[in-house]
Every structure is written in C-alpha cells, then in structure tokens.
Amino acid sequence: MGKRGLRALAFAPLLLLMAAAYTLPVLSNLMKSLQNERGEYVGLKNYVDVLSSYYFLDSLRFTLRIALVTMVVAMVIAVIVALALRESFIGKKIVLFLFQYNICLPHIVAAMMMIMLLSQIGLLSSLAYRLGITESAKAFPWLVRDSKGLGITVTFVWKYFPYIGLSVLGVLQGASRAYEAQAATLGVGKIKRFFHVLLPQILPATAIASIIVFAAAFGEYEVPALLGASNHRTLSVMVYMKYCDLSTRDLPAAYVMMTLMSLVLMAFILVYYGLVTRKRGAAE
C-alpha cells in the first residue's frame, strides 16, 4: 500500500465520524425541509413561504448586520492591539494574558458578564447614577436586549477579537522589520508604512480569521438568546423558536431555515478553504 493509501486509511475514521455527525443530519434536515408537518412531499413550497416571509427577511438582515459589524470592529481592534503587543514594554506578559483570557470563556458566561456590566441594573448604570450622570437606574440607556442588537454586538466583539488578534500577532512576530526600517530611512511616515509594508503581510491572516469570526457570529445562539430583544431575533434564535416554542412552532419553516443557514456557513467554509489554499500556494 502506497503513501496515499495509508493517508486515506488514516483519515477514514475521521471521515466516517464527520459523515455521521454532520453530513447525515444535514441530508435529513434537507429532506424534511421539502415536506409538510404531516411528512408529505411539497417540494420547494416551504422555501418560497420562508423566503417571502417578513420574519425571515428581518431576521436575516438583523443577523447579517450583527455579524458584519462584529467582524469589522473586531478586526480593527485586533490589528491595533496586535501592533501594540508587538512592541516590548513593562507588563507585556500580563497584558497578553488578559488579551487571550476571554477566548476560554463560554459564550453564556460572556453574555452574563455583559448583563452585569451593561444592563440597567449593571455596573455602568450604578456608576452613572452615583456620579450624577443619570437620575435613576431606569434612565440608563438600554444596552442589552435592545432592538439594534448593541449588547449582542459588543459581546461578540469582546469575545472574538482575540482570535483575529492572535493570528495577526503571530504574523507580526515572525515578520522581518527590515522593510519597515528601509521605509523609515526613506522618510515614509508610520501610516504609510502600515498600509504599504505591514498591511500586505498581515492581510491574508486577517482575512482568514475575520471570515471565521463572521461565520461564528452568524450562527451563534447563546448570546442572542440571552441579550436579544423580542422584536428582532437572529436566525439561530428564530430557528429554535420555530422548532421548539409551542406558540410559534412551525417545523417546516425551522427545517428550511436550518438548511439555508447550513448553506451560508458552507459558503464561508469554502471561502476560508480557498484563502488558506492560496496562502499555502504563495508560501511554497
């Protein structure tokens, strides 16, 4: 047996596990999305009903907006922090530890921390009242369970920006500073050096990590369920409601939305794979 055969044999258990844990449920969900609640085949009728419904379009816009804002803001903060951590300073190890700390926190813990920090009975509300900024706790603005999803977005940014930051920091620490030194010698300012020297080096890693963050924010459930408002819900929360909530239960719609979300996430995976492959090819 050749090397390719041995590799295929080594990956066979993993492929079988992936088929059992992912492929089969997706196919089962796809079949059920083409049936009504009585199990009768109705074709694409369920998809037409869902795609033309207000609740789905509103949920899709809400989810995409949160995911996009999360990705952009997290990317900007991550690059700034990574550039700062690139330099040597007193207490760098402690700062680096705090920078990575929230990666290990479960999403539900991060959401509860934001409730204790940003809600009208939270730390910021109490601090604002004690300083005389607000007349009462109720006068503090709604930062969680708000219709714009601000609490969700803040939690996602805080939770996910270290993923991008660590990727950028790894590239910066491994990159040579010779080009930056040459550009500085020629009188190029810091901003121009960043865009013309540093940015091309960190852009592939930043793009790859940002796609992962976008996909994670798009499909996340715990944080939107705890911090989301009742008038706007993300797709993951809407799917759960359609599947489990007896007052809004609609199994065909739930299966359709799960299938559509799977397709969107699969598209992100393909983009991620394409970027990684291109990066490897450029390195070789």
Instruction: Encode pLDDT of 11-64 as tens digits.
Output: 677 777 777 777 777 788 888 888 888 888 888 899 999 999 998 999 999 999
What is the separation of C-alpha 159 from the centre of its chain, rounded to a whole number of angstroms? Answer: 9
Question: What pLDDT does residue 224 have?
Answer: 93
d(CA 20, CA 8): 18
Domain presence at residue 264: yes
3-state SS, one letter per residue, for 136-164: CHHHCCCCCCCCCCHHHHHHHHHHHHHHH
Question: What pLDDT does residue 159 have?
Answer: 92
Examine the domain organization and report whether 103 and 222 are in the same domain. Answer: yes
pLDDT under 70 in the chain at which residues? 1-8, 10-11, 179, 186, 279-284
d(CA 51, CA 49): 6
Examine the domain organization and report whether 128 and 60 are in the same domain. Answer: yes
Question: What pLDDT does residue 2 have?
Answer: 59
Examine the domain organization and report whether 191 and 254 are in the same domain. Answer: yes
Closest to 154 in 3D by CA, of 61, 58, 66, 63: 66
Question: What pLDDT does residue 70 have?
Answer: 95
CATH number of the domain bearing residue 65: 1.10.3720.10
Sign of CA dihedral 242, 30, 268, 61: negative
Domain presence at residue 39: no
d(CA 86, CA 82): 6
Question: What pLDDT does residue 272 have?
Answer: 75
Question: What pLDDT does residue 197 have?
Answer: 80
Which domain range does residue 27 map to? 1-33
